[in-house]
Amino acid sequence: MSKAAAQPPAPWMRDALRRGFNYLNSGKFHEASEECRKVLTARPDLAEGHFLVGLVALEMKNSVTAIHAFGSVTKLDPTHGAAWAQLARIFVRAGQPARADGALRKAIENEDGNPVVQDLIGLVFSQLGDQQEALAWYTKAASQVPSNVMFRVNRANCNMFLGNLDDTEEELRDVLDMQPGNPNAHWILAGLEKANDREHVEEMQKLIATGNYQGSSLAFMSYGLGKELEDLEDWGAAYEAFAAGAEARRGTLDYDERAEIEMYEALERVYTRDWLDDGREGCIDPSPIFVIGQPRTGTTLVERIITAHSQVHSAGELRQFGNSVRRLVDYRGSSRFSAELMDQAAAVDTAKLGEAYIQTTQKLRDDSPRFVDKLPSNYLYLPLILKALPKAKIIHLRRNPMDACFSSFKQLFADAYPHSYDQREMARHHARYYKLMSAWRERFGERFFEVMYEDVASNLEPNARALIEYLELPWEDACLDFHKQKAAVTTASTVQVRKPAHTKSIGRWKRYEDSLKPMREELEAHGIPVGDW
C-alpha cells in the first residue's frame, strides 16, 4: 500500500462514502456512482472508493467494471479479504476457475473474521460444488450474527443440499419468525415437503398481494406458491404463479440467444468423428461416470440408483470438467459457455485435460473405485470427455420434450439455465440440445448409454439392472432402495429423490396443455416430437 493510500480519508470523503453505501442499499445506483466519482477524483488511491464502485457495478450487472474495481482494491490493499472474495465469486460465475482459485485462496488468507466475507466465501465454495466446506463457512457467519437472515437462509439452503432437512426447516422457521416476509425462506420451505393444506399458500398469497415484491424476490415467492398449488392439484392457479415467477426472474437475467446458437453451431462443426480419432490420447482412469442431459429429466434419479451401489460415490453436480477445459486454454471470455471456448477447447492436450479433471475431483470423492458427476450440461462436452477420459462411462437421460421443458420452466434455478423462464426460449433451447444430441448419437453413439426417464420411473428394476450392467458392476439390491441414501443432493430434485421412484411427473405437462401452447408450437416448428414417449 502506498504512503498516500495509508493516510486516512478526509472527513468529507468518509461522509461521501457513507452516502454512497446508503444509496447503494436503497437501489439508487446513479447517486452511489456520483459519490464514488467525487471521492476517487480527489483520492484515486482510496481502496474503499474502488470497493464501492465494484459493488455498484455488480448491482448494475457490469462484471467488467466490477473486476477492474475490486482488482484496484487488491492492488492498493492486498489484505482486503472482501475484495478477494468478490473477485472469486465473479470469476466462478464467469467460468474462469483458474482466476477464481487464486482469488479464493487470497480471500481465505486475508479473512479477518468479517461475517459478510465468511458468508461470501461459503457462497463461492457452494458454487464450486463443495457443500461441506460451504456449510462450515456459512456456519461461521451465522454463528457470529444469528439475527442476519441472509446468513441463516444460506446455511439452510446448504443444509437442504446435504440432506439435513430437519435442520433446514428449523432454521427457516427461525428466519420467518425474525422476518415473516422473507421470500427465499418461503421458497425453500415450500419445497421441503408436499403441501397438504392451504395455510402456507394463503400466507404467500397475502404477502404477494402487498405489492412489496419485485424481481428476484417476486420470483422466489411465486415459485414457492406455484409449487404448493401444484401439490394441491390447483393446476390453473399453479400455472399463473409459475408464469408470474418466470416473468419476474427473466427480467433479472441477460440471455444472449444468438451467442448460444453460435456455440451449438461451433460444437457440430468442430467435434467430428475425425476429430475424435486424430491420434491424441487421454487419461485412462476408469473411475468417472458422467450422467448428462437436460435438467429435470431424471439425471438425479439415475445418479441415486447408481450411487446406491457400494462401489460408486456420489460427487454431485461438478463443474470440474468444464473448469479444467477453461484452465488449460486460459479462457478469458465473459460468459461461461461460448463458441470461442468450444473452438479453443478442440486443440487442448486431452491427456492433460483428463488428468486435470481427475486431480481436481479428488477431494470431492471418497475411497470408492467409481464416482458420479451428474452435471447435466456436460452433454456439451461429450466428445471432449470421450477423448480425455476414454475409460469413463457416460449415461444420457432422455425425456418427453414437453415434460422436460415444462419441468424446467416451473423450476427456479440458482445461477443457470437463463433460457428456461420463457416458453419459446425454453423450447428453442431444447431443440438445439435435441439436434446436438442427435449429432453426438450419430458420431459417437456406441460410446455412451442412453436411457429414458419414463422407462426408469415406471419400470425401475430392469432399467436399474441395465444401468449397473453398462457400468460393468455386480448387481446389488441396494440400487432399488436409492431413496434411503443420506448423501448430498445439490440439485432442484434434492427432496424428491429421497422418495421411491414414481410416475406422477410423466405427462404432467398435459395438466397445463392450454397454457403451454407457445412451448408446443415452438418445439413442433423445429421438428421436435412432443407426443407420447
pLDDT surpassing 60 at residue 491? no
Is 152 contained in some domain?
Answer: no
pLDDT confidence tier of residue 3, bands split at 50, 70 and 90? very low
Query: Under a CB-based contact definition with an 8 Å cutoff, are residues 156 and 185 in contact?
Result: yes
Please state, in angstroms and as integers, the Cα–Cα distance from residue 56 to each residue in 2, 51, 338, 512, following that order: 25, 9, 26, 41
Return the residue matching grid coordinates 420452466.
409
| Chain segment 292-325, per-residue pLDDT in tens | 999 999 999 999 999 999 999 998 888 889 989 9
pTM above threshold 0.75: yes
Please tell me whether residue 393 adopts helix, strand or coil conformation: strand
* Structure confidence at residue 5 as a pLDDT band (50, 70, 90): low
Structural contact between residues 292 and 379, judged by C-beta atoms closer than 8 angstroms: yes
How confident is the model at residue 492, as a pLDDT? 47
Query: Which residues lie below 8 Å from residue 511, measured CB to CB, with a gap of 6+?
Result: 235
CB atoms within 10 A of CB 320: 24
> Is residue 296 included in any domain, yes or no?
yes
Asked if pLDDT for residue 259 goes beyond 90, the answer is yes
Of the pLDDT bands very low, low, confident and very high (cuts 50, 70, 90), residue 497 is low
Pairwise CA distance, residues 281 & 269, whole Å: 21
pLDDT at 4 over 50: no
- Looking at residue 302, its amino acid is V
What letter represents residue 423's amino acid? Q
Per-residue confidence (pLDDT) for residue 318, from 0 to 100 = 87
Share of the chain above pLDDT 70, in %: 95
In a domain, 344, yes or no: yes
pLDDT at 113 over 80: yes
Instruction: For residue 290, give the 3-state DSSP assignment.
Output: strand
Q: Is 493 helix (H, G, I), strand (E, B) or coil?
A: coil
Q: What is the pLDDT of residue 487?
A: 54
In the three-class reduction of DSSP (H, G, I as helix; E, B as strand; rest coil), residue 313 is classed as: strand
User: Quick one: which of 419, 491, 494 has its CA closest to 129?
Assistant: 491
Q: What is the pLDDT of residue 149?
A: 96
- pLDDT tens across 338-368, in order? 999 999 999 999 999 999 999 989 877 888 9
Q: Are 71 and 44 in contact (CB under 8 A)?
A: no
Q: At 449, which helix (H) or strand (E)?
A: strand 449-452
Q: Grid coordinates representing 427?
A: 423450447
- Helix or strand or coil: residue 314? strand
For 23-65, the pLDDT digits (tens) are 999 989 999 999 999 999 999 999 999 999 999 999 998 988 9
90 inside domain: no
Over range 243-266, report the average pLDDT.
Answer: 96
pLDDT higher than threshold 80 for residue 532:
no
| 349 torsion bin: left (phi>0), alpha (psi -120 to 50), beta (else) | beta
Q: How confident is the model at residue 286 (pLDDT cuts 50, 70, 90)?
A: very high
Q: Which residues contact 387 (CB under 8 A, 6 or more apart)?
A: 276, 280, 282, 350
Cβ atoms within 10 Å, residue 461: 11
Cβ–Cβ under 8 Å, residues 320 and 361: yes
What's residue 158's pLDDT?
93
Q: Does residue 185 belong to any structural domain of this protein?
A: no
Q: List, in sequence order, every residue forming a beta bridge with 289; answer none if it has no partner.
A: 372, 393
- Is residue 412 included in any domain, yes or no? yes
**pLDDT, averaged across the chain:** 92
The tally of domains found in the chain comes to: 1
Residue 493 has pLDDT above 60, yes or no: no
Query: Which residues form the domain of 368?
Result: 257-525
Give pLDDT, residue 162: 86
Is 333 in contact with 63 (CB distance < 8 Å)? no
Q: How far apart are CA 291 and CA 204, in angstroms?
A: 36
Scan for cell 453436480, then name that residue: 317
> Is 16 among the domain residues?
no
At 79, the pLDDT band (50, 70, 90 cuts) reads very high
Assign residue 309 the CATH number of its domain. 3.40.50.300
In a domain, 507, yes or no: yes
Over residues 135-159, the pLDDT tens digits come to 999 999 999 999 999 999 999 999 9
